[in-house]
Amino acid sequence: MIEHPADYYRTEAREHWEQARRKARAARIAASIPGEHTGLLDFNDIAAQLGLKHAVYRGVQTVPLDSIVGSAGRYKDFTGAFLPVDDSMSSRWQRIAAIYLDPTSGGVPPVELYKVGTAYFVKDGNHRVSVARQLDLKDIEAYVWEYPEPVSDVGPEADIDTLLIEAERREFLEKTQLDTLRPGHGIWITAPGGYRTLLFEIAQYQHALSLIDSRPVGWEEAVGAWYDMVYEITVQLIQKTGVLHLFPERTPADFFVWIRKHQQELEERYGRRVMVRDAARDFGRRNRTTLPERAAREVLRWIVGRLG
């Protein structure tokens, strides 16, 4: 008995679905490894951070699938590689896959994307992007709405992390006026979220100073005191522990953020005060990846890429 073409494509679509789910499960395991991130970015969060307001319609374009990094509404439903994380998507996903696979189907309509810098976010068509990536397609047709120059004076080829970091840096310097208060301060952060962490810490320090001195402490005074008594002293202690070599591409300010967070976690865990030097040394011990751990990590990456 000859199999009907439609049945053949439905069977092939089901096989691709099962492969995608296996990859998604492996990616979830990889997500438990420190330093591995497998999620999509939330466009609404990015838009709020960058203050995005007016998008310009750019028409239908051919967009590289690897440039699509997030979603406007369903960022929790897929991994960072747009693998489906829930079996409830099965019917719709397989139906779209069968259309892609059947050369007589007429294809699927273009997806709808927002463009921010070099990154794209799905406005509509998450399942189509997921299927296209599972089928190893390189690009996809899309209606594109672009946010031109999301951060002023930052080139159009900037990636999303660069845009977020620069927006945060400008906000940090505007609020602290450190360029004026402490010229040559040298605070440079290389990961999104770091500058906002520093602003939160300064606000906490201002509150603590007001309680200690039994008087209102102004913001400018608090910024200067925080830089002199907290930031600089902490960075000096971190440098003496020798942990900066662990991530040579990162800055002392990055380590300040990480180790202060690690210090707080240790204090919560043990219910007592932990010195910065001890937190830095513990941070170093935990992040000196051994050879077997590196090998295991590489094997897991290989499995995620090869499952199918």
Do 23 and 148 fall into the same domain? yes
Are 229 and 187 in contact by the 8 Å Cβ rule? The answer is no
Q: What's the structural domain count of the chain?
A: 2
Q: Is residue 306 part of a domain?
A: no
Task: Please give the Cα distance from 183 to 169 (Å, whole number).
Answer: 15
Q: Is residue 279 part of a domain?
A: yes
Do 35 and 169 fall into the same domain? no
Full residue range of the structural domain in which residue 134 is found = 5-156
Do 178 and 134 fall into the same domain? no
Do 41 and 123 fall into the same domain? yes
Are 80 and 24 in contact by the 8 Å Cβ rule? The answer is no
Are 129 and 140 in contact by the 8 Å Cβ rule? The answer is yes
Task: Please give the Cα distance from 307 to 298 (Å, whole number).
Answer: 14
Q: Across-strand partners of 145? A: 57, 114
pLDDT for res 285: 85
Q: Is residue 298 part of a domain?
A: no
Q: Is residue 33 part of a domain?
A: yes
DSSP characters over 85-101? --GGGHHHHHHHHHHHH
Q: Which of 62-97 are b and which e, b meaning 16 or more Cβ less than 10 Å from the residue's Cβ?
A: ebebeebbbbbebbebbbbbbbbbeeebeeebbebb
Structural domain ending residue among the three candidates 156, 173, 203? 156
Do 121 and 170 fall into the same domain? no
Side-chain-facing half-sphere of 25: CA atoms under 13 Å: 9
Q: Is residue 300 part of a domain?
A: no
Spatial strand order of the sheet with 139-147 comes to 41-42, 68-71, 119-124, 111-116, 139-147, 56-64
Do 139 and 17 fall into the same domain? yes
Q: pLDDT (tens digit, 0 to 9) for every residue of the chain, 308 residues total?
A: 445 667 788 889 999 999 898 888 877 765 554 444 558 999 999 999 999 989 999 999 999 999 999 999 888 889 888 999 888 999 999 999 999 999 888 889 999 999 999 999 999 999 999 999 999 999 999 999 999 888 988 877 889 999 999 999 999 999 999 999 999 999 999 999 999 999 999 999 999 999 998 999 999 999 999 999 999 999 998 998 888 888 889 999 999 999 999 888 998 988 999 888 888 888 888 887 544 454 445 544 554 454 44
CA 210 to chain centre: 36
Q: Is residue 131 part of a domain?
A: yes
Q: Is residue 294 part of a domain?
A: no
Strands 56-64 and 68-71: unpaired
Do 228 and 97 fall into the same domain? no
